Every structure is written in C-alpha cells, then in structure tokens.
Structure 1
Amino acid sequence: MTPQFSLETRYWHLRDHQLFRHLDSAELRQICLITNFKSARKNEIIYFAHDEMNRVYFLKKGVIKIVELDVDGNEKIKEVIQKGDLFGQITLDTVETDEYAVALSDAVTVCSFKIEDFENVIQQNPTLAIKFTKLIGLRFRRLENRYTNLMFKDVRTRLLLFLEEWAEKEGTPTPEGITLKNYLTHQDVAGLICSTRQTVTQLFSELKQHGLLDYNRSNIIIPDIKQLRKFTV
C-alpha cells in the first residue's frame, strides 16, 4: 500500500473528481483534512468491509472488483468499480457485509471518508448532497439493469450486453476496432453475468469464430460494435 498523500496531492485528487469539482478552494482544503487516501497495485486487497464498515470510498484511479466468499469459500465477484465510482457504505449506514475490494488494474488510488464526517460535509453543501444522490441513483440503476438482464436474458445475450457496456465505458478506438484492456478473467466475467467459466470461454470462442471480437491476455478487440449489437438480437 501507499505512502502518505500530502495535503496538496489530496487537494488535486479531490478537485479532479466530479463530485467535488464545483467546490471552491477553501471548501476543498477543509475537506482534505478529513479524507484518507491509499493506493494499491494489481491483485492487492484495498479494504475488507467487516474491518471498515463506517467508510464510504471514491475510486480516483484504476479499476477494482468487489467480491465476497460463498459458503464454500469461493470468490464471487459482485461488481466492477471504475474511476469516479463509489463503494463501501454508500447508503451511509453501517450494514455488515463480507465483501472486499481487490485492485484489477496496475495502479489504483482511492479516497475515503468516515460516514459521520461525510454526512457533515454534505449537510453543509446542498449541491454536493444532490450530486452524491445522483451518483447513488446511477449506481443502483446499473445494478437494476444487471439484475433485469439476469432474469430475462439468456447467457449469450447477457455476455454481449456486458461487452457492449464495457466497450462504451472503457473502449479505445483503434484501427482494429474498439480495444479494451483485458483485466477480467473468464471466471470474473462468469460471476458478473451469472454463468460458468466454461460457458464464457465457449462463448468467447464462438464470438471470435464469427469475427465479432478477438482477444488475448492483454486486450479484447471488438472490430465493429454495431455488428456485436446485431448479434444480440
């Protein structure tokens, strides 16, 4: 984990976040005094929920996954969190869970607040409270869409919708098509779409055979996102 972040570094990290960028310098510097920052490298655990139940986290840099252990002790991925997203006790109450966060990208930076401190901040800044509520709403809407897909879509369609959403969020246009950094294993993808690793591997091979994507350990390339969308029908 990281070295200490200076007050100036904290200031610029917060200034860059969509939730805080509307605040003036004095307000931001005051908030910097109550934030905690940490960094992690790929595969490092960032936090255990049962050890830090009273914090809300904001992902400043990188990608992480939220996971928990099932009754057999197997890791079950619940959600992928990307830059700008929040996690932890986002409902601002202390609900016990067994989840933990793991860094997926090479470098991750998060900032966090104790719940009571963050409640004081949003009480003093109504605009901040509105922005926070909108972020929570977007997060729950994504989860709602995911669960709707789980209930009403078949596995292949769920995978294709997942790939399309991933491409829209993180895809980089290249001469070969939309390129994604491949930080998820087939087991991770299977957990996110409620399937098995074997099925996901089979579907990836099928999509590759149809020319709808190419992939290796580093990247996933989608030559034509429109063709991928048509394949969902």
Structure 2
Amino acid sequence: MIKYTIMNEKLNFIKQLSFFNSLDSEKLNLINSMSKIITYPKNSILYYENDINNKIFFLVSGLLKVYKIDKFENEIFLYYIHKNSLISELTTLDNDTIRCFANAEFMEESVVLEVDFSEFKAEFLSKNILNNEFINEILLKTQQLHCVVNRELVFDATAKVAFSLCDDLDMFNSLKRHEVSFMLHIQPETLSRVLNKLKRSAIIDIENSNIVILNKKMLQNIYRGDA
C-alpha cells in the first residue's frame, strides 16, 4: 500500500536530501508546500517508460531499479538509483511535463519526494536557486548512462564484473549471483568463471559468498584498458 506523509513529518524527510542542504528555513518550507512524501512498497512501480508527469522525484530512502523492455518482452537492466538521489530524467526545461525514459521499480520499501515541476522552476530555477545542485544531478545521470553504454557496448564479461565490483561492492554482495548475472547480461556460468579468475589472480577474495576486494587498482585496470 502506498503511504502519504503528513506535512510536519514531510519536512524532516526533505532535510535528509543533500540536494536541499543550502536552503534556509523559508525556502525549505516552500519546498514543503509544493511537494508530497510517499512511501512505496517493494516491487511497486513508480512509472513506466513513456509515461508523462509534471513532478520531479527524489529518492529519500530505499532502492529503485531502472530498466527497459525490448521487443521480445525481455527486461533490460540499466542501473539502480540509491537513496539521496534525483530520480527523474530531464531532457528540457522548456515545458512543465517530463516524459519517462524507462521503467522504474522499487526493490525495497522506499520513500520518495514528489515536487511540482512547474512551481519548482518558478520559485527556484528561474531565480538561480538550486541551479548548481540541479546541474550536478543531471551530470550524474549522464555519467550513469555513459556507464550503461560501456557495460553494454564496450566491456567484455571480465570488465563488466570488475566495473560492477568497483562501482558498488555492497550492491553486488547484496544480490544473488543469478541476479548479478542478469543485471550484467552475462550467463551465471560466465560470472562464476570471472570471479574464480579474479580470485586466482589475488585481485579479490570470496568470504562466506561475499566478495572482498584485495587489489582495487588491478580491478580498475581491467575495465580501464590498462590490464
């Protein structure tokens, strides 16, 4: 069940987002007035590809999976969005609607801040407030997409695994091996071979099914093309 948060509690959630750290009490209350805090259950959908909305979304807590569906109805994993992050993918500020780039599904119970996009532009961006924060979030989104391109079009299986380990070891260890292989679009057997090869090379160790990085520089060299 989706849960809505009352206004007094909402402000405490807003303050958890580093995006708004530079705002004084007056501006925080302004964000409070134009937003909602919603708690979503695990496996619920925030939006589908090509949905159109007039809100920008921030993930206060929880975990969100972003993915697309190909013409054969196969799920193509893109990336995860972690807490304290902008969720929305924006391509223009010229209108008040946002077209969703992909599907977004919650992997655990999550808290989301919804902010009215039109009011946010009028009260903040048009007055050069939070512009740097907004640009930084968009640049992070661009970096995520660059990582997707590398993973899908440039990296071989070993580089995919090495990058994933360096990029988010906690996430790697929190998933089952078949979930990791699905995420990286490689076979489970291939993932097992790569991990064993990295272990034999003393780059990683495996303790109680968890990966421990022994030599991060060598691991980075694999996907940077220095190995």
TM-score by length of 1: 0.77
Q: Contact 2:64/2:104 (CA < 8 Å) preserved in 1? A: yes
Aligned counterpart for 1:220 among listed residues 185, 190, 210: 210
Post-superposition shift, 1:187? Answer: 5.2
CA, structure 1 residues 12+49, in 2 after alignment: closer, same or farther (shift >3 Å)?
farther
**Counterpart contact for 2:89–2:100, Cα < 8 Å:** no
Shift of residue 183, structure 1, vs aligned partner: 4.0
| Mapping for residues 56-205 of structure 1, pairs under 5 Å | 56-92=56-92, 94=97, 96-97=99-100, 99-105=102-108, 107-167=109-169, 171=170, 182-186=173-177, 188-190=179-181, 192-205=183-196
Contact 2:166 2:219 in 1 (8 A): yes
Q: Secondary structure at the match of 2:38?
A: strand
Give the drift of 1:104: 2.0
Indicate how the Cα distance of structure 1 residues 35 and 97 shifts in structure 2: closer, same or farther if over 3 A, else same.
Answer: closer
> Are the aligned partners of 1:57 and 1:88 in contact in 2 as well (CA < 8 Å)?
yes
What is the CA distance between 1:226 and its match in structure 2? 3.0
**C-alpha displacement at 1:188, in angstroms?**
4.7
Task: Give the superposition deviation at 1:84.
Answer: 1.9
Report the number of matched residues.
219
CA RMSD of aligned residues (A): 3.0
State TM-score, norm by structure 2.
Answer: 0.79
**Retained in 1: the 8 A contact 2:65–2:81?**
yes
Q: In structure 2, how many angstroms separate the alpha carbons of the residues matched to 1:192 and 1:125? A: 41
The separation in 1 between residues aligned to 2:145 and 2:155, in whole angstroms, is 15
Change (3 A) 1:116 1:127: closer
Give the letter for the 2:219 counterpart.
R
Measure the CA separation in 2 of the matches of 1:110 and 1:117: 18
Which residue number corresponds to residue 34 of structure 2?
A: 34
Match of 1:176 in 2: none
* Alpha carbons of structure 1 residues 110 and 95: separation in structure 2 relative to 1, 3 Å: closer
Counterpart residue identity of residue 124, structure 2: I
2:61 and 2:110 in contact (8 A); partners too: yes
Secondary structure in structure 2 of the residue aligned to 1:117: helix
Query: Which piece of structure 1 moves more, 150-159 or 184-193?
Result: 184-193
Q: How far apart, in 1, do the equivalents of 2:54 and 2:168 lie?
A: 30
1:69 and 1:98 in contact (8 A); partners too? no
Cα deviation 1:151-210 (Å, max 9, x = unaligned): 44322012101111113xxx4xxxxxxxx5744454553455443444334434544566
Gap runs ≥5 in structure 1: 172-179
Q: Please tell me whether residue 17 in structure 1 is matched to residue 17 in structure 2.
A: yes
Shift of 1:60: 0.7
- Return the letter of the residue paired with 1:203: V
Q: Which segments of 5 or more consecutive residues in structure 2 lack a partner in the other structure?
A: none
